[in-house]
Amino acid sequence: GLRIVELLADEGDSVVAGQVLARLARDTVTVQLAQNDASLARAEAGIAQARNQIVQAEATAVEARAGLARTQALKLTGNATQEILDQRISLARGAEARLAAAQDGLALAEADLAQSRAQRKELELKLARTEIRTPVSGIVSRRTARIGANTALGGDALFRIIVNGEVELEAEVLEMHLARLTVGAPVEVFAASGRSVTGRVRLLPAEVDRASRIGRVRIALPRDPDLRIGAFARARVI
């Protein structure tokens, strides 16, 4: 869903694993990161405030408990009325409630901070993905990426890479000749330019076409500028 703003590789280029092939617009992600910074700061401030409230609430609760204990002792000796005792009980309960509320506030602030940090990781990953990198070394065989185009999850691949520049010849061999072939046998391949390169049989067919009685043999080829995907060549197995 991001727009392509820069292309750094073209068809035919040799690339190495991790190399940046294209860059996407990161304006939206940058704004989201700034918003996340504000959320993190707000959550951290909320935690600090909640902790201060807990300290104050704990002090108030301790004072209320002590006052209640003194009043209960005075009530036993007849030096305090029931009304005063009820007031102390109410104050103690209120202090405990405020302490519990402060503790809940701290838990809520810590949850907000954890959520903001998780969003931060997601945004950092999204920012890293604004640089399209090749996972392998090889040769760019096709590039569908265009400046100004938007990327899409269900769209075509932006780049196609021939891993390590390896190219094969898919050779058609008549059924009667397949039994004479062996894996690793040298092969002389004649490209359209007339030049020849030496390859080797990599894979023999597991089946033969019923109609044509032809099997498809895979011949591994060396790296050569004359060998292009989709081109035709003639081969002779030695």
- Token code pair at residue 136: 């392998």
* Global pTM value: 0.57
C-alpha to C-alpha distance for 191 and 225, rounded to whole angstroms: 10
C-alpha to C-alpha distance for 43 and 111, rounded to whole angstroms: 9
The set of residues, in sequence order, having a beta carbon less than 8 Å from that of 3 and lying 6+ positions away, is 24, 25, 148, 149, 150, 151
pLDDT tens digit sequence for 56-74: 888 888 888 888 888 887 7
Lowest mean pLDDT among 51-60, 65-74, 131-140: 65-74
Amino acid symbol at 216: R
DSSP states of 44-61 as a string? HHHHHHHHHHHHHHHHHH
Q: Where are the alpha helices (DSSP H) in 78-145?
A: 82-128
For residue 25, what pLDDT is reported?
Answer: 92
Name which of 163, 173, 176, 179 is nearest 219 in CA terms.
173
For residue 65, what pLDDT is reported?
Answer: 85
Q: Cβ(189)–Cβ(171) under 8 Å?
A: no
What's the rounded mean pLDDT across residues 155-183? Answer: 90
- Token code pair at residue 38: 């504000």
Percent of the chain beyond pLDDT 70?
100
With a cut of 80, say whether residue 122 has pLDDT above it. yes
